Amino acid sequence: MNAKDLAALAAELERLLKLRAIPFGMKLFDTVEEMEAIPKIRRPQSVHTTDQIVAQAARLGWTVGITGDDLVGAQCRAVVGLGPQDAEWRSGKAMTGVWYATVEDASAHQAAMQVVPAGRYRALAVAPLASGRLDPPDVALFYATPGAMMYFINGLQWAGYKRFDWSVVGESSCADSWGRALSRREPSLSIPCFAERRYGGVLDDEMLMALPPEQLVRAIEGMHALAKNGFRYPFPQYGIQQDVRAGMAVSYAKGP
């Protein structure tokens, strides 16, 4: 998938879902030098959360590269495979009494997270999909309202139907989105957590989808098919007290 294809997909995604934030990509690198060779790459001047780095692509349109040293702590590093996932991290001690009542609860949370295995990667970059700078990204991501996400999922399910089962780990829900998508290369939906909203600027009505970029083609083709059947986003309200048969008859010729 070349840069021109990605730019076209990003534009169509924005049009179909009325996105308020920029669709972006994320890519892991074996070496720091590979990441730093990306055209117009920015490197952080301060310590950040991964949520902030992601937001700089989604909200500002920046191309940003990081190593584990640019991230604030073990949690951010571990999710994207840029830091150790050792006994200290797995214990969850840092989150005990903050997000979880006991160390056992915190440890269970750490074990539930889906993360990129540690040891291989040394750097990561994010960039708007339309920029084509990640050539191609490992995963594509976008923020959208719950209604837009449902329509996107309907598009994914139009052909080759599959039921999706997603997780909610709670805090550190980036493990449900980019952690899961990077490690499993599957569509991954999340409800962004406190840290994503406080530090990453995620709005109250936004969810996050992460998936391999080629899956965007499948979803967009599906949404085009749904649009031909009269199903488009945003969903028009019919009325909660109207006789539903006239509306249903448009979609279902034989009636409900």
Q: What is the pLDDT of residue 3?
A: 78
Distance (Å) of CA 8 to CA 56, 151, 232:
21, 19, 19
Q: Which helix (H) or strand (E) holds 28?
A: strand 24-29
Tens-digit pLDDT profile for residues 130-177 = 999 998 999 999 999 999 999 999 999 999 999 999 999 999 999 999
d(CA 12, CA 4): 12
Tokens of 255: 């009636």
99: helix, strand or coil: coil
In whole numbers, what is the pLDDT of the chain averaged over residues? 95
Residue 205 in any domain: the answer is yes
Residue 252 in any domain: the answer is no
The reported pTM is: 0.94
182: helix, strand or coil: helix
**pLDDT score of 1 more than 80:** no
Tokens of 139: 């995963």
d(CA 26, CA 129): 9
Residue 201 in any domain: the answer is yes
**pLDDT score of 256 more than 60:** no
CB distance 71 to 48 below 8 Å: yes
List Cβ neighbours of 180 (8 Å cut-off, separation of 6 or more): 114, 167, 186, 188, 210
Tens-digit pLDDT profile for residues 37-73 = 999 999 999 999 999 999 999 999 999 999 999 999 8
Percent of the chain scoring above 70 in pLDDT: 98
User: Which of 46, 37, 44, 109 is closest to 78 using CA atoms?
Assistant: 109
Distance of CA 120 to the CA centre of its chain: 22
Residue 28 in any domain: the answer is yes
| Widest CA span in the chain | 64
d(CA 2, CA 9): 11
- Helices H / strands E in the chain, number of each: 11, 6
Q: Which amino acid is at 33?
A: E
| DSSP symbol at 132 | -
**pLDDT score of 255 more than 60:** no
Identify the sign of the CA torsion 24, 10, 208, 1. negative
Residue 117 in any domain: the answer is yes
198: helix, strand or coil: helix
My answer on whether omega of the bond before 212 falls inside 30° of 0, hence cis, is no
Residue 238 in any domain: the answer is no
Residue with structure tokens 């999706």?
Answer: 164
Residue 119 in any domain: the answer is yes
231: helix, strand or coil: coil
CB distance 144 to 210 below 8 Å: no
Burial (CB < 10 A; 0-12, 13-18, 19+), residue 111, is: exposed
Q: Report how many domains make up the chain.
A: 1
Residue 137 in any domain: the answer is yes
Range of the domain at 126: 3-233
